[in-house]
Amino acid sequence: MLAIFCAMSFILYLDRVNLAAAAGPIKDELGLSNTTLGLAFSAFGYTYAIFQIIGGWFADRLGAKKTLIVCGSIWVVATIATGFISGLVSLILARLLLGIGEGAALPAQARAIANWFQRKDRGFVQGITHSFSRLGNAVAPPIVALLIVLHSWRAAFVIVGALTALWIIAWAVYYKDNPREHTAINEAELARLPEHVKVTANGGDTPWKKILRRMSPTIFVYFCQVWTNTLFFSWVPIFFMNAYHLDIKKSAIFASGVFFAGVVGDVTGGLISDKVLKKTGSLPMARQGVIAFSLLGTLCFLVPVMLSHDVNVVAWCLSGAFFMLELTIGPIWAVPMDVAPEYTGTASGMLNTGAALATIISPVVFGTVIDLTGNWNLPFVGSAVFLLIGAVMALKMRPDRDIHFFEHQHDGSKVPA
């Protein structure tokens, strides 16, 4: 099951970042400016944001299996359609459709992970599954560059869309919402399963206010993290081309190196979070502590990026920054399972809505700043500010207080400090 989750994350981000990897040729062929290209990047975020909570709610009510079959089919169509665009409008429409398909994916995956893995393992599981998304980021630039050289940028979207369709078939055949119903599971695995949360379309009302109250600080922190994350996803490949005048092949190599650092960071952050939890028994230390350390470490690595003019120094520091930034992913995606175990899909959807808002706003800001100033380093300044704010706000997350915490306080029963 973990392999299937990892494959999904890989394909999900391969589908998403291939636009950034092919941005140079697309921009030239369609006659786009950096600002209009930024609009195309951000179009994805609008529908992605809307369908986060909707998709998470459906995953809680109907199950992760049905939700991912439907949304996966949509993102297959959107990815293939991108290969047939004729201008800015059709590109934006394809990205909007992709946002619908991918919007429900990660909340549904979080629901599935909560079904299959216990709390003590979830930091690692979230970290390693998201590391495969960064692997998708890492391999997209050279794959797309190779396809452009051999065929065209349009071929990349068609091929990746077909790959996504194969994954959906595997998911539909193999995955079960209730692990106990899986024919391949054994007694040893059954003993390690978390308590099963029954999925039903006729369940009680979803406690939206309670979930939002507990998730709000985490949502804000994730917004700050993804602001910088989007800078890497959307602009790093074209950053090397324009700021250092590299050709598409060399730019792809540098970008891949940066993204590979994120792969390692994802797994490492999840392992650290789980190790701290097992050693101290403290969820705040395991989640908040790792996240604050991650964001401050990213800020330190970005300083040389803004000051140095040596492409090798910049590449190494961007890699270090992306490694530190990705330490956040495992612990922050475990928080919805900590605070709302019965409504993990909904809480995860709320979390990723904050991310989606950052993906809407930041590409337009980046593109506009670059067009107005011609300075490719200025977007990193804004990222530094958000990283500092996010590190401070991480102290307010409190993953040890679930959605029933204030009820326990009110009725006088004991609660954690």
List the structure tokens of 191: 């003993």
Q: Give dist(CA 336, CA 287) in Å, integer.
A: 11
Q: Give dist(CA 116, CA 180) in Å, integer.
A: 10
Please state the rounded mean pLDDT for residues 154-158.
82
Phi then psi for residue 244, to 5 deg, are -125, 10
Whether residue 34 is predicted with pLDDT greater than 50 in this model: the reply is yes
Mean pLDDT of the chain: 83
Report the half-sphere exposure of 267 (CA within 13 A, side-chain side). 10
Are the beta carbons of 227 and 358 closer than 8 angstroms?
yes
Q: Which of 256, 327, 257 is nearest to 290 (CA)?
A: 327
More confident residue, 232 or 293: 293
**What is the domain partition of the chain in residue ranges?**
2-177+213-399
Whether residue 411 is predicted with pLDDT greater than 60 in this model: the reply is no
Q: Give dist(CA 131, CA 152) in Å, integer.
A: 28
Q: What is the dihedral of CA 326, 148, 170, 188, to 10 degrees?
A: -30
Whether residue 367 is predicted with pLDDT greater than 70 in this model: the reply is yes
Percent of the chain with pLDDT over 70: 93
Whether residue 241 is predicted with pLDDT greater than 80 in this model: the reply is no
Q: Give dist(CA 93, CA 39) in Å, integer.
A: 11
Per-residue pLDDT, 412 = 52
Structure confidence at residue 125 as a pLDDT band (50, 70, 90): confident
Whether residue 71 is predicted with pLDDT greater than 70 in this model: the reply is yes
More confident residue, 132 or 34: 132
Q: Which of 198, 319, 338, 346 is nearest to 263 (CA)?
A: 319
Burial 161-185 (b: 16+ CB within 10 A, else e): bebbbebbeebeeebbbebeebeee
Residue in this structure with the two tokens 């102290």, named with its chain if needed: 395
Q: What is the pTM of this model?
A: 0.72
Listed in order, strand segments (DSSP E) in 20-97 are: none
Q: Which of 119, 384, 125 is nearest to 266 (CA)?
A: 125
Q: Which of 47-61, 73-87, 133-147, 309-323 comes out lowest in average pLDDT? A: 133-147
Per-residue pLDDT, 320 = 93
Please state the rounded mean pLDDT for residues 376-400.
88
Please state the rounded mean pLDDT for residues 15-38.
77
Amino acid at 218: T
Please state the rounded mean pLDDT for residues 156-179.
88
Per-residue pLDDT, 394 = 93
Are the beta carbons of 216 and 368 closer than 8 angstroms?
no
Highest mean pLDDT among 97-101, 293-297, 346-350: 293-297
pLDDT, one tens digit per residue, over 296-352 is 999 999 998 888 888 888 889 989 999 999 999 889 988 988 888 888 888 888 888
In this structure, which CATH number among 1.10.10.410, 1.20.1250.20, 3.30.70.600, 3.40.50.300 belongs to the domain 2-177+213-399?
Answer: 1.20.1250.20
pLDDT, one tens digit per residue, over 140-150 is 777 777 777 77
Amino acid at 142: P
Are the beta carbons of 4 and 104 closer than 8 angstroms?
no
Per-residue pLDDT, 415 = 47
Please state the rounded mean pLDDT for residues 203-214.
81
Residues 6+ apart with CB under 8 A from 85: 30, 91, 94
Q: Give dist(CA 100, CA 104) in Å, integer.
A: 7
More confident residue, 197 or 309: 309
Structure confidence at residue 251 as a pLDDT band (50, 70, 90): confident
Per-residue pLDDT, 417 = 39
Per-residue pLDDT, 407 = 57
Whether residue 17 is predicted with pLDDT greater than 90 in this model: the reply is no
3-state secondary structure of 176: coil
Per-residue pLDDT, 202 = 47
Percent of the chain with pLDDT over 90: 20
